[in-house]
Structure 1
Amino acid sequence: MNDVPPDWIRPPDLDAARLAQHEIAERAEAADRLDQPRLVAGVDCAGAARGAPDRIRAMAVLLESSAKSRPLATGLVEGVPAFRYVSGFLGFREIPFILDALAKLPRRPDLIFVDGHGLSHPRGCGTATHLGVVADLPTVGVAKSILVGRPEGELGQEAGSRVPLVWKGREIATVLRSKRGVNPLLISAGHRVSQETAVRLVMEWLAGYRLPEPTRLADKLAGEARRTSEAAPLL
């Protein structure tokens, strides 16, 4: 991880967080600065077990070469976020845990798929962009719902159909039908990946499901860990 200002990870208040997002967005790169990735990670954050409403569980999964490969390693971290939930500032709740989960992987990935937005954010600093700049790694945002913007055009039903997501006159993401009959995804450049390449990489890492395999596995394994925790007897 780069030496980054503390406020980029744990800001003391909302004003500092807003300033940090503007600074991170200025540092973000929306052009390709990666070779064909061999080691790819997926990260996902979710709530922890029942009875712990303000705990976060972060899962990182490391894969090699293709969507059909088995996970090489996983990293799981859980804790209480220091930053309260405010729409548009989710990264400050999740990033500390994601960084710790990634640190548990035995090798540094070439690319990270993030369950969240990248540049498709009011201040150009969704979780994928935030993580990419802080971790100094290429990232792609894979979100399930629109934060800002509107689709331009009618999205087809076939897998691979896509239309731009436009906000304030510019394309900020791609609305992608990753599988026929499922709700579309919002694919956005995070850091050091162009929008065109972000969509291509997502398509390459699909394995018959709605989500690309790195984030699908991170979500699945985090859910399994949550169910195991909930099933454990209270001491």
Structure 2
Amino acid sequence: MKINQRHEWSLSTEQAIAIQEQLSGEVITDDELKPNIEYVAGVDMGFEENGAVSRAAVAVLSYPDLQVVETSIAYRPTAFPYIPGFLSFREVPAVLDALEKLQITPDIILCDGQGIAHPRRFGIACHLGVIVDIPTIGVAKSLLVGKHQPLADVKGSWQPLIYKKQTVGAVVRTRTGVKPVYVSPGHRISLPTAIDYALCCTTKYRLPETTRIADRIASARGEVSIVES
């Protein structure tokens, strides 16, 4: 993949807020997807040397059978501290390095983090999607902003996530009897479609296979049958 870097990454929080506010205007929350989705990808991060080095992993899976067809790993010095609401500035630089190594360009990318369910409507899935101009979905393990009604315990159940009187995502039960995930559009995808793909990419685990496999690679846990770039 060829990636156009939009800005620098070594920034103050004030500069980061300005970039989020500027680029959030480019986020599209309507469906702009290929007619036939062939490849879905997950991205995730691990850290080495007490957080000084970022290890980004990308797993590309065929769709809808969810077989791993390509993976990529990239390392980069960590340039931004961990601050809630600014995850993309810490993680996206290494993720872009990993994406740039891919031979296969994914049709949708699922991120371990928020999309528009974010204080400035610009979580990591939005930031990544705007930069690479690929449809992205945020599938977070924890709530950042918003409130929701009680959720049924059955797989496939979901409730709107409301923040400042607007629907910014959904709390989704991906497995019966297991804690839900928080799905929100990143870029070039609507919330109903984001929920559908998050569920279609989920098999017997809580997380979609895309991000679950990327997490295993990023954290160097277990063996994955892959083709590594």
Q: TM-score, with normalisation over the residues of structure 1?
A: 0.89
Does the 8 Å contact 2:3/2:96 carry over to 1? no
CA 1:71–1:226: 2 relative to 1, 3 Å: closer
Match of 2:177 among 178, 181, 185: 181
Percent identity of paired positions between Structure 1 and Structure 2: 38
What's the CA shift for 1:13? 1.6
Distance 1:26 1:182 in 2: 35
Q: Any idea what the Cα deviations from partners look like across 1:118-176, whole Å, max 9, x if unmatched?
A: 0000001100000000111100000011111111x210111111111111101111000
Does the 8 Å contact 1:11/1:17 carry over to 2? no
Q: CA RMSD in A?
A: 1.7
What's the CA shift for 1:62? 0.8
Q: Secondary structure at the residue paired with 2:42?
A: strand
What's the CA shift for 1:53? 2.9
Match of 1:142 among 139, 144, 154: 139
Distance 2:189 2:117 in 1: 14
The match for 1:230 is: none
What's the CA shift for 1:224? 2.5
The match for 1:86 is: 83
State yes or no: 1:38 paired with 2:38: yes
Does the 8 Å contact 1:2/1:136 carry over to 2? no
State yes or no: 1:99 paired with 2:100: no
Match of 2:66 among 61, 65, 69: 69
Distance 2:221 2:201 in 1: 24
Q: Secondary structure at the residue paired with 1:60?
A: strand
Distance 1:5 1:11 in 2: 13
Q: TM-score, with normalisation over the residues of structure 2?
A: 0.91
Distance 1:19 1:193 in 2: 24
- Structure 2 unaligned runs (5+)? 224-229
The match for 2:58 is: 60
CA 1:220–1:15: 2 relative to 1, 3 Å: same
The match for 2:163 is: 167
What's the CA shift for 1:14? 1.6
Distance 2:101 2:10 in 1: 24
Larger C-alpha radius of gyration, 1 or 2?
1
Q: Which moved more, 1:11-20 or 1:199-208?
A: 11-20
The match for 1:6 is: 7
What's the CA shift for 1:115? 0.6
Distance 2:217 2:82 in 1: 24
What's the CA shift for 1:225? 5.7
Q: Any idea what the Cα deviations from partners look like across 1:68-115, whole Å, max 9, x if unmatched?
A: 432111111122211222221110111110011111211111110111
One-letter amino acid of the counterpart of residue 223, structure 1: S
What's the CA shift for 1:4? 5.0
- Structure 1 unaligned runs (5+)? 228-235
State yes or no: 1:127 paired with 2:128: no
The match for 2:194 is: 198
Q: Any idea what the Cα deviations from partners look like across 1:163-193, whole Å, max 9, x if unmatched?
A: 1111110111100010011110000000000
Distance 1:104 1:3 in 2: 14
What's the CA shift for 1:11? 4.7
More helix by share: 1
Distance 2:38 2:111 in 1: 17
Distance 1:199 1:170 in 2: 17
One-letter amino acid of the counterpart of residue 31, structure 2: D
